[in-house]
Structures are given as structure tokens and as C-alpha cells.
Amino acid sequence: MIERLDQLASCDAANDIAMERLQAARPVWVNVGVAADVIPEMGERMLLHAGPPIIWEDMSGPMRGAMIGAMLLEGWAKDESEAQKLGAGGEITFEPCHHHSAVGPMAGVISPSMPVNIIENRAPSGLGGGNRSYSNLNEGLGKVLRYGAYSPDVLERLRWMADELAPAMRKTVKAMEGGLDIKNIIARALHMGDEVHNRNLAATATLIRMIMPYLADSVSDTKVISRVANFIAGNDHFFLNLGMPAAKASLDAMANVEGCSLVSTMARNGTEFGIRVSGLGDRWFTAPAKHPAGLFFPGYGQEDANLDIGDSAIMETLGLGGFAMGGAPAIVQFVGGSTAEAIQATNEMYGITWTRSRDYTLPIFDFKGVPMGIDIRKVIETGIYPNINTGIAHRDAGIGQIGAGILRAPETPFQEAFEALTEKMSA
């Protein structure tokens, strides 16, 4: 292995270039649009999903549940059984969010009529800037589409989000001339005990603080202001669907750098876990997804849990979430573990990253930057695999979230990517 690590020594220069782009990334919330109108190459009968590519037959319960919900929402099917047939029939195209500059938490299903947050990377174009990314809007916790629920109340909420929430958010963002700097909110939230993946309390509250004056300025109906404020204020994770596309826009800027050994994507579709590596382009390296170990809501346990699911590991790919949880010890009340374990996890992650973030810092680590730029060489050399924290969906369609937990990324994708990079570099 030492020999192969030597072969990859030339990755260093490429990694520096890639990291300069990641450090320079400045994700800004610039608009709210409709998926069909704004997401690149979004087809008419296309549904985007979290993780690497997957076919209907291989989809887990919550992924199918979310697909069924999306087909009902779009009016393509009248009921569950019609949707099941349609899904299996081959008329619907299923593609990863990641193939469309998008990300979605958990099932991550984005259908054409859904509103999406639009993030623009305002870094100089010489540093990979100018790209955009997209995510749906966060529905809240519990019985929601992204956890595989599709009952009438779930769909009704999604319709309200498209009809009232999204237009209000669009006006609000437009009123903030130049948009809203998401990098700044993430940096502040890290100083307020969020790891910005499963703990978004400070980020969401800070977001509310920043947008409320503009919401009140740009929406004329106080009832709408009240309903929108109430919905956002009632959702601890509203910020997640801004943080994720912000991470995506940042990481897309460092993708496809020739010779770079840093991970540009980690994502799960509920069946498989997949990574992509900057120097290996758009190729996925996958393995069966694992079970998170965690804390369950009353009445549920490990046996009810689906495999790890969602694009939200984009937060860990950026150096947040399970990488930054030592700076956010209160997260252990939600995902399990102890303060000492949270600190230990972050310390371990410094061992597999290329550098530290310049802008995302952790006060308790003496304002050291979060571990950033997962280097597959270091992963293979140390045998330390990325630490991810995550929500847990019920394994059956139609139920929703049942807990939250922690896990390590599976080993195979990193090993195979390492082999592929060695091969490519020695070719």
C-alpha cells in the first residue's frame, strides 16, 4: 500500500487547487424557483432522488413512499396502487439529485412542480464560482415526504408550501438585495453549537432573525406573514435545505479537478451509499448502505429502521455534521453518544482531511477550522472512515422519521476509489 500511496503523491498539488476553490466558495441564497423551470435538464416525467442512481425495484420503503407521494402530488397517479404501477412501469425517469446540481435530505425526492431554493456560489469564476445548486424546501420533522410518508396531510402541506410559502420566500429573498449569505450563517451557527446537519437550531433561528424584516416588508397580507413565520419558526430544521445546497454549490466548485484525491460527494439512496472523488469525475463508487445506531422515538427501535438514506452527507463532505460535532456537543441529545465521543469524532476526522476550513471554525477547538477535504489516501492509510450523523426513517413506506443516529461510511467505496485513482494516475 505504501507503494501505491507513493504513486498518489502527485495528488498533492491537485488537492491544493481543489481546496482553494472549496475555501473560496461563497454560497448565497439568491432565489426560490420551481424545479421544472430552474433545475438543469429536469424532465417532464422525472423524479429526482437522493444518493447514487437506483432503479424502482431496488428502492427501500421510504424512498418508494416518497416517490409515491411525489406521483400523487404531481397528479400522475390517483392512489398508491396506481403510483406503484407507474413507478414499476418504466414511464417515470428516476435520476439522482446530484446529476442535476441538486441535493435533497433523506429520500430527497424533487418533482417538477416543487419549489426549490436556489443557491449561487459567489466565488470568483477563476476559483470555480458562478455555479448554482438547488434543494427542495424543508417540511419539518415526523410524518413528511422525505421520510417516506405520503398521506393526504403530507401532500396538503406540500401544496401549501408551493402555493404560499415559496412565493413569500421568493419575495423575501428578492427583497434582500444581493441575496442572503449562507456561508455566514453556517459560520455563525458553528459558534452557536450547531453542526449544521442534524442540529440546525441556531442556523434556523439566525435565518429567521435575518429574513423576518424582509418578509414583513415584502408580503402585504399579515395573515400570510403569520402563517409563514409560524411554519418556519415551528421547524428546527428549516435551514437544512439551505445548508445542503450551500455545501453542494461549494463542493461542485472543487469537483473534477484532474489528479485530486479528495471526496466531492457522499450520498445515500436508502439502499446504497456512494461517493465521488474529484479526480475521478462523475463516477460513483458504491456499497450497501449501513444502519445508523441512534436514538429512537418512543415505540420504535433498531428493527424498524431503514438503511442510511439521503444527500445530507453533503454536510459531512464539506466538514460539518459528523465532522464538526465536537463543536456541537448538544447534538448528542438527538443522535446519541456523549460529549467526549463527539469531540473524539471531530479529532479523528482531522486525520483524514486535507486541511481545515478557513471560515468554518469551532470555538471549543480554540477556533480551529473544521476538518475539510476528505482525502481517500488518508482514509485508506489510517483506516478511519468518515463519521456521519443522520435522521433515521422507518423501513416501510408511509410512516416517516423514527429517530436519529450516527454511523461510519462503508469501507468499500473508498477502497475501490483508491484503486481506481491509483490506476488512473499510473496510466
* 264, 277, 348 from 338: Cα distances, Å: 29, 32, 15
Nearer Cβ to its own copies, position 225 or 388? 225
Nearer Cβ to its own copies, position 191 or 424? 191
| Pairing between β-strand 46-49 and β-strand 132-136 as defined by DSSP bridges | unpaired
Q: Are 398 and 259 in contact (CB under 8 A)?
A: no
We find the least distance from the C-beta atom of residue 177 to its own copies, in angstroms, to be 15
What cell numbers appear for 370 in the block? 473544521
We find the least distance from the C-beta atom of residue 298 to its own copies, in angstroms, to be 21
- How far is residue 128's CA from residue 125's CA, in Å, rounded to a whole number? 5
Residue whose C-alpha cell reads 441512534 in the numeric block = 294
- How far is residue 410's CA from residue 271's CA, in Å, rounded to a whole number? 12
**405 residue type, one letter:** G
Residue 55: how many other CB atoms lie within 10 Å? 11
We find the least distance from the C-beta atom of residue 194 to its own copies, in angstroms, to be 8
We find the least distance from the C-beta atom of residue 390 to its own copies, in angstroms, to be 20
Nearer Cβ to its own copies, position 141 or 287? 141
We find the least distance from the C-beta atom of residue 214 to its own copies, in angstroms, to be 8
Nearer Cβ to its own copies, position 155 or 192? 192
What cell numbers appear for 195 in the block? 453542526
Nearer Cβ to its own copies, position 81 or 226? 226
The rounded Cα 364 to chain-centroid distance in angstroms is: 25
Nearer Cβ to its own copies, position 179 or 193? 193
Residue whose C-alpha cell reads 432565489 in the numeric block = 31
We find the least distance from the C-beta atom of residue 201 to its own copies, in angstroms, to be 6
Applying CB under 8 A, which residues contact its own copies?
188, 191-194, 201-202, 204-206, 208-210, 212-213, 215-217, 219-220, 222, 225-226, 229-230, 233, 329-330, 332, 338-340, 363-367
Residue whose C-alpha cell reads 450497501 in the numeric block = 288
Q: Are 62 and 148 in contact (CB under 8 A)?
A: yes
Nearer Cβ to its own copies, position 155 or 364? 364
**330 residue type, one letter:** A
Q: Are 118 and 31 in contact (CB under 8 A)?
A: yes
We find the least distance from the C-beta atom of residue 232 to its own copies, in angstroms, to be 8
Nearer Cβ to its own copies, position 44 or 366? 366
We find the least distance from the C-beta atom of residue 197 to its own copies, in angstroms, to be 16
Nearer Cβ to its own copies, position 192 or 293? 192
What cell numbers appear for 289 in the block? 448502505
Residue 389: how many other CB atoms lie within 10 Å? 32
Local structure of 416: helix, strand or coil: helix
Rounded (5°) CA angle 58-60-61: 140
Nearer Cβ to its own copies, position 199 or 378? 199
Q: Over the range 157-187, which residues count as b (16 or more CB within 10 Å of their CB) and which as e? A: bbeebbebbbebbbbbbeebeebbbbbebbe
What is the biggest distance separating any 2 CA atoms in the chain, rounded to whole angstroms?
67
- How far is residue 304's CA from residue 145's CA, in Å, rounded to a whole number? 18
We find the least distance from the C-beta atom of residue 245 to its own copies, in angstroms, to be 22
We find the least distance from the C-beta atom of residue 301 to its own copies, in angstroms, to be 24
